[in-house]
Amino acid sequence: MARIIVITSGKGGVGKTTTSAALSMGLAQRGKRTVVIDFDVGLRNLDLIMGCERRVVYDFVNVINKEANLNQALIRDKRCDHLYVLPASQTRDKDALTKEGVERVLNELTQNHDFIICDSPAGIEHGATMAMYFADDAIVVTNPEVSSVRDSDRMLGILSSRSRRAENSEEPIREYLLLTRYDPYRVLSGEMLSVDDVQEILSLNLLGVIPESKAVLSASNAGVPVILDRESDAGRAYNDMVSRYLGEDVPHRFLNPEKKGFLSRLFRG
């Protein structure tokens, strides 16, 4: 039985796909049989960040519509044997994701995987509700700003009522907070909320704090999940996140501005 993790957010563009790529790669590198599914039908994004966009033949919607079977649609990652990507369709609309279809695909995947990561579109529209419905765990990706925190709060409310676990009165979805694009300088100057501010508002289990980092953009341009960039602060922060998710007690890093000289502060990245 696989554990199903949804990566979700209220506001768009906060780093869900970046996080889905990092988490799935991180779990797979630790030997977990992992598959990551792109629920953002119509926008196809995950395959670019995973660097497998030129190997897409069939997609999630094809499998749901039984136009292809899972083995035909799953793309095995070239860097890590335990990792598979199920890409989204660029051409269909969101309604192609039916609840029965999604359930059937998840049931099939759960047989021989340890983790299923669902990269959700933002907000509460159809694709997002499908991505969250079957989840066991939810990682709510939030940027340290008021609007994002507010939307995450609303998202948490919806998660607690619109899921299979809620409908069957089972143990509720485990909810985690991931703060991304954290910039200690802007926190210090009062432009951004601090970790403590966000924790105070959301009162949620903090899975990690990912710093704002130029490494994220260069990694996604290269089609390499940033977690593989061990030199970068974002890569290391994502590695910590994966360890924490698996139960290790890892202290949070990158919360405070590094004590650097004037020049390196000018060129910080």
Partner 1 sequence: MAVNPNPRNNDTDGPRSFELKAASFTLPIIRLIDNNIEAVAARLGAKVEKAPDFFRNTPVVIDLSSLPEGVGAGELPLLVGLLRGYGMIPFGVRGGGKEQNAAAEALELAVLRDSYVRRGKGASKAEEPPPESEVAVDEAPAPQARASKQAASPRRSNPGFMLITKPVRSGQRVYASGGDLSITAAVSSGAELMADGNIHVYGPLRGRALAGMSGNLEARIFCQDLQAELVSIAGHYRVSENIPVELRGVPVQIFLDQKILRIEKL
Q: Is 210 in the site for ligand ATP (CB under 6 A)?
A: yes
Binding site for partner 1 (CB under 8 A): 150, 153-154, 156-158, 160-161, 201-203
Q: Is 181 in the site for ligand ATP (CB under 6 A)?
A: yes
Q: With residue 25 as reference, give the H or E element that holds it.
A: helix 16-29
Q: Is 13 in the site for ligand ATP (CB under 6 A)?
A: yes
Q: How far is the CB of 23 from ligand ATP (least distance, A)?
A: 12
C-beta of 172 vs 185, nearer to ligand ATP: 185
User: What six digits make up the tokens of 12?
Assistant: 């768009």
Using CB under 6 A as the binding criterion, the count of chain residues that bind ligand ATP stands at 21
Q: Which residues contact 106 (CB under 8 A, 6 or more apart)?
A: 4, 116, 134
Cα–chain center distance at 89: 18
How many residues are given for the chain? 269
Options 2, 8, 10, 15; binder of ligand ATP; rule CB under 6 A: 15
Q: Is 163 in the site for ligand ATP (CB under 6 A)?
A: no
Within residues 58-77, the interface with Mg ion by CB under 5 A covers none
C-beta of 91 vs 203, nearer to partner 1: 203
Q: Is 18 in the site for ligand ATP (CB under 6 A)?
A: yes
Question: In this structure, what are the phi and psi dihedrals at residue 34, rounded to the nearest 5 degrees?
Answer: -130, 140
Residue from 60, 54, 83 nearest 73 by CA: 60
For the chain, give the longest Cα–Cα distance: 59
Q: How far is the CB of 175 from partner 1 (least distance, A)?
A: 10
User: What six digits make up the tokens of 26?
Assistant: 């991180």
C-beta of 70 vs 206, nearer to ligand ATP: 206
Q: How far is the CB of 167 from partner 1 (least distance, A)?
A: 12
C-beta of 57 vs 250, nearer to ligand ATP: 250
Measured CA to CA, the distance from residue 247 to residue 238 in angstroms comes to 14
C-beta of 20 vs 167, nearer to ligand ATP: 20
Residue 222 partner contact from Mg ion, ligand ATP, partner 1, none using kind-dependent CB cut-offs of 5 to 8 Å: none
Q: Which residues contact 29 (CB under 8 A, 6 or more apart)?
A: 80, 82
Task: Report helix, strand or coil for 3.
Answer: strand
DSSP state of 96: G
DSSP 244-265: HHTT------S-S-----HHHH
Residue from 201, 158, 128, 151 nearest 11 by CA: 151
Measured CA to CA, the distance from residue 134 to residue 103 in angstroms comes to 8
Q: Interface mask (CB under 6 A) for ligand ATP, residues 223-262, using x and -?
A: -----------x----------------------------
* Interacting residue ranges for Mg ion, rule: CB under 5 A: 16-17, 45
* Interacting residue ranges for ligand ATP, rule: CB under 6 A: 9, 12-18, 40, 45, 121-122, 180-181, 210, 212-213, 216-217, 220, 234
